[in-house]
Chains A and B, each alone.
Chain A
């Protein structure tokens, strides 16, 4: 998939540039010298860059100036790299952001960890009831 704007009525024909290879989530892609990671991925039709760490909702570029941090990716094993401010380099290994475990998030399960004193006290009372020695 190529989303390049090759001809432009005012800016003219796109300049010949060096082709740069990289991988995203293990798949091979190419971009051009001067691309940011964000522009190279978008040119390849890739919009979903990560999922929200807790909810798993899909996210992509938003501001393109490094402020919103929505485009953070793992690049050559460095996490939290902003795709929109990082120049594409030969053989970059880029990985999308994944969902992370949320051990402190309440799922309404009995074995959830307590998140505040009230929950702790309740759990403590429950554990006393559960324990036949008490």
Chain B
């Protein structure tokens, strides 16, 4: 039987494995993707200090350490069910059942779909799909594309596609419909952009600083948003244009785009056809938490964390004895935060398995501080108000445990 099973070999899972191995626990990390690293692999952006954050390099460092510590990492394994057992947990995968005393779920996040007519055509993909194809597999997703959905993630990946020599025509909103109200409303999109402008990489600061943070200024900015968009890295960003339809027979051939009012309503007669051979849809991330639900972990909806999140405390413990969570499953944040949370979760598991020493107590304290410090420092924050979100979760955890 395993001391610890970790589901997800991303930044959280790998750093947790390393922490557990440092205390000699018997650890297995499993992941569905054929290679470890999770979504960290695809990341590539420039920090405000000019240095590049290269996900492949960051993954390599985590793996080197895991290798030196003798952590067992197996890829191509899908976990589809978990049962509570007297020894802890039984995790069902496509390659058998694993029994473990402790379980860490570090499954990360997934992208919210934004359906618009024609989105099932080959050549339409999620922005994250394009990121992995470009940076990990080094495959060009197309010759000329458009990005539907304007947010921090899609802007960062648009830049990555440009770097790889892929032409992006522009970024625009999805046409407003019953399911994508959040992403298709210019005022809401602008609100989110402005609130995080100060946190984002350098070009975003230039972009954001063109607008004031005061309500009426922002409303004016939406109202008088330039017809040709605001350019970032030479790429036009439109929040007063929406893609209404993706067209093509056997694959993407063009999109229809039209002008929209500040409230997102289409302006008739402004339709235009733009020839593209791929479309990336960017609906933002949500915590990928089904497995925690399967095992009966209580959940809480916290908007600042990106959606429904398994209840947990600052030490990454859930109300279920022996069940831990770390990384984006606990809220959408930077990979750096996920990595720090993983180390903390690993130490929390060590605390349950080994006798508590002064040394361990000190290490847990430091790991907790580290998560806080990194959260303060990161340049990309997906959700403003992450601190409030984390505080809300602490309260919910106490309430659940008091019951």
Cβ of B76 within 8 Å of any chain A Cβ, yes or no, is yes
Q: Please indicate the chain B residues that have their CB under 8 angstroms from the CB of A34 in the complex.
A: 34-35, 137
Q: Please indicate the chain A residues that have their CB under 8 angstroms from the CB of B32 in the complex.
A: 65-66, 85
What number of A-B contacts does a CB cutoff of 8 Å give? 105
Which stretch (A42-50, A101-109, A117-125, A126-134) binds chain B? A42-50
Q: Name the interface residues of B21-69: CB closer than 8 Å to any CB of A.
A: 32-35, 39, 44, 52, 54, 56
Q: Name the interface residues of A1-27: CB closer than 8 Å to any CB of B.
A: 3-6, 8-11, 14
Cβ of A63 within 8 Å of any chain B Cβ, yes or no, is yes
Give, as a whole number of angstroms, the nearest-CB distance from B118 to chain A: 10
Q: Please indicate the chain A residues that have their CB under 8 angstroms from the CB of B126 in the complex.
A: 62-64
* Bound CA–CA A44/B386 (angstroms): 42
Cβ of B314 within 8 Å of any chain A Cβ, yes or no, is no
Q: Please indicate the chain A residues that have their CB under 8 angstroms from the CB of B217 in the complex.
A: none
Instruction: Give the residue name and chain of the A residue nearest to B31 (CB).
Output: A85
Q: Please indicate the chain B residues that have their CB under 8 angstroms from the CB of A85 in the complex.
A: 32-34, 76, 78
Option from A8, A60, A63, A64 in Cβ contact (under 8 Å) with B164: A8
Among B35, B132, B139, B163, find the residue whose CB has the most chain A CB atoms closer than 10 A. B139
Q: Please indicate the chain A residues that have their CB under 8 angstroms from the CB of B165 in the complex.
A: 5
- Are B125 and A64 closer than 8 Å at their CB atoms? yes
- Are B132 and A5 closer than 8 Å at their CB atoms? no
- Are B140 and A47 closer than 8 Å at their CB atoms? no
- Are B139 and A43 closer than 8 Å at their CB atoms? yes
- Are B140 and A5 closer than 8 Å at their CB atoms? yes
Q: Contacts A8-B138, A34-B35, A86-B34; is A48 near B122 (CB within 8 Å)?
A: yes
Give, as a whole number of angstroms, the nearest-CB distance from B34 to chain A: 4
Option from B34, B56, B123 in Cβ contact (under 8 Å) with A60: B123
Option from B76, B129, B138, B249 in Cβ contact (under 8 Å) with A63: B129
Q: Please indicate the chain B residues that have their CB under 8 angstroms from the CB of A60 in the complex.
A: 121-125, 251
Cβ of B102 within 8 Å of any chain A Cβ, yes or no, is no
- Are A49 and B122 closer than 8 Å at their CB atoms? yes
- Are A59 and B138 closer than 8 Å at their CB atoms? no
* Bound CA–CA A95/B33 (angstroms): 21
Give, as a whole number of angstroms, the nearest-CB distance from B238 to chain A: 23
- Are A48 and B139 closer than 8 Å at their CB atoms? no
Give, as a whole number of angstroms, the nearest-CB distance from B307 to chain A: 15
Q: Please indicate the chain B residues that have their CB under 8 angstroms from the CB of A36 in the complex.
A: 34, 137
* Bound CA–CA A7/B101 (angstroms): 47
* Bound CA–CA A49/B129 (angstroms): 15
* Bound CA–CA A43/B123 (angstroms): 13
Cβ of A79 within 8 Å of any chain B Cβ, yes or no, is no
Q: Contacts A36-B34, A59-B120; is A4 near B251 (CB within 8 Å)?
A: no
Q: Please indicate the chain B residues that have their CB under 8 angstroms from the CB of A58 in the complex.
A: 121-122, 249-251
Q: Contacts A61-B125, A85-B33; is A4 near B56 (CB within 8 Å)?
A: no
Q: Please indicate the chain B residues that have their CB under 8 angstroms from the CB of A3 in the complex.
A: 139-140
- Are B251 and A87 closer than 8 Å at their CB atoms? no
Cβ of A67 within 8 Å of any chain B Cβ, yes or no, is yes
* Bound CA–CA A9/B282 (angstroms): 25
Residues of A within 8 A of B (CB): 3-6, 8-11, 14, 34-36, 38-39, 42-43, 47-49, 52, 57-68, 70, 84-87
Give 16 pairs: A residue, B residue, CB < 8 Å, sorted on A: A4-B140, A5-B139, A8-B163, A10-B163, A11-B56, A34-B34, A35-B137, A42-B137, A52-B120, A58-B251, A60-B123, A61-B122, A63-B129, A67-B110, A68-B113, A87-B34
